[in-house]
Amino acid sequence: MTHQLVLRKPLAFFDLETTGINIAKDRIIDICIIKALPGGEVIVKNQRVHPGMPIPLESSLIHGIYDDDVQDAPPFKAVARTLAQFLDGCDLAGFNCNRFDVPLLVEEFLRANVDFDMKNRRMVDSQRIFHLMEPRNLSAAYRFYCNKELVGAHGAEADTIATLEVLDAQVQRYMGMVAKSDSGQDVVFENDIDMLHSLTANKNIDLAGRMIINEKGEEVFNFGKHKGAPVLEVLKKEPSFYDWILKGDFPLDTKRRLTEIRLRMFSNAKR
């Protein structure tokens, strides 16, 4: 394996498999580093790591690594200095690395009391380049799925016709393939509106997304000081929060949905 990048110092591409996506709480279980050297040579290093905690089944189903696979692996602290030395003098690169992999890796080094200085390292995120250079808008979708240029973009009729053609083409392209929903469930792509709804629908309670359904199926606030807190719990402990929303600059739909939850609370209390 070689590369054609013009480098003045090594560029270390890396990817993590982890117990989850919480940077503060989750742990690394597998790390691969490919160090691209000036001149074209590459060096590959793989390291399996025991996370010191059970690997959640939902995570194992994604990356295929289970507790038994890491039972004999060393903890991150035992390999931290070796990894830091391997990365010494390197810039860093990855796919979505700026938002996830780099922050989590640094957290692990800090927990292991290893000084991993980021000050003089440049970071290259190929996902960011992908999003910048390949716009995810209707014109791009129309070109990709229908092989047509969208004439009259941002005109209501042209955009609506293009959207119909894009969805039609998507259904034909992905028929029978497996897609993963936001909840992590595998969904077989079919020409079926119920399936398309389940794949693309969000977890919003109100259309603006001020309240959502969390992973536990609870109605929670999705903004401000009560973000993540159950709506019913907040309404019980701080009734004035309801009045504040009703008097505030919130969408009418948000106020309506919140009122429905509040009325349901009162109705349940009377039973």
Integer CA distances (angstroms), 202 to 108, 183, 196, 197, 245, in order: 33, 10, 12, 9, 22
Three-state secondary structure of 182-239: CCCCEEECCCCHHHHHHHHCCCECCCCCCEEECCCCCEEECCHHHCCCEHHHHHHHCC
Cα–Cα distance measured from residue 13 to residue 46, given in angstroms and rounded to the nearest whole number: 12
For residue range 27-45, list pLDDT tens digits in order.
999 999 998 999 889 999 9
Contact 187, 180 (CB under 8 A): yes
Q: pLDDT grade, residue 251 (50/70/90)? A: confident
**Mean pLDDT, rounded, for 110-136:** 85
55-59, 114-118, 154-158, 246-250: which range is least confident on average? 154-158
Q: Long-range contacts made by residues 61-66, C-beta under 8 angstroms, separation at least 24?
A: 61/184, 62/184, 63/17, 63/29, 63/30, 65/17, 65/29, 65/30
In the predicted structure, residue 221 carries a pLDDT above the cut 80: yes
pTM: 0.60
- CATH 3.30.420.10 in the chain, residue ranges: 11-130
Q: 47: closest CA among 20, 97, 85?
A: 85
Domain 11-130: CATH class, spelled out = alpha beta
